[in-house]
């Protein structure tokens, strides 16, 4: 196998991944997924590190698990991104109460940032001619 053939395959995979990433709110979904995972991991921290367990313990695990699920759904089903981003920001803010101050604030901020990025993302659109004409007039 030649080194040039491997480079061509790598470039093809990289181009395919870039096209896939451009068709969805990739960074928002990734940040929301990471936020859910981080908050879930802080739930498993030792008792010396845990600030408070939260309401009945179940919500402390349920909210970050649904955040992680919303992040994955944003990545693999971007058509419903607005619903998932609104749900993600509400869940992120809810972890303040239920999960060690939202994963020691790191998961909370990652979740809010990822949800906001997802909410503001728009798929490729053609330029609006009317707005372009006004700018030149």
Q: What is the pLDDT of residues 45-100, one digit of tens each?
A: 665 655 555 555 778 889 999 999 999 999 999 999 999 999 999 999 999 888 87
Confidence at residue 129, expressed as pLDDT on a 0 to 100 scale: 67
- Is the confidence at residue 29, as pLDDT, over 70? yes
The secondary structure of 39-96 as a DSSP string is HHHHHTS-TTT-S---STTHHHHHHHHHHHHHHHHHHH-GGGHHHHHHHHHHHHHHHH
Confidence at residue 57, expressed as pLDDT on a 0 to 100 scale: 73
Confidence at residue 127, expressed as pLDDT on a 0 to 100 scale: 63
């Amino acid at each position: 196998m030649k080194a040039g053939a491997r480079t061509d395959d790598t470039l093809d995979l990289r181009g395919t991944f870039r096209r896939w990433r451009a068709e969805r709110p990739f960074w928002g979904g990734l940040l929301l997924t990471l936020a859910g995972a981080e908050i879930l991991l802080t739930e498993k921290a030792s008792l010396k590190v845990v600030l408070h367990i939260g309401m009945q313990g179940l919500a402390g695990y349920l909210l970050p698990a649904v955040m992680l699920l919303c992040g994955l759904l944003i990545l693999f089903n971007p058509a419903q991104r607005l619903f998932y981003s609104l749900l993600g920001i509400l869940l992120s803010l809810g972890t303040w109460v239920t999960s060690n101050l939202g994963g020691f604030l790191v998961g909370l901020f990652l979740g809010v940032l990822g949800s906001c990025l997802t909410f503001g993302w728009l798929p490729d659109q053609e330029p609006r001619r009317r707005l372009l004409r006004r700018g030149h007039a």
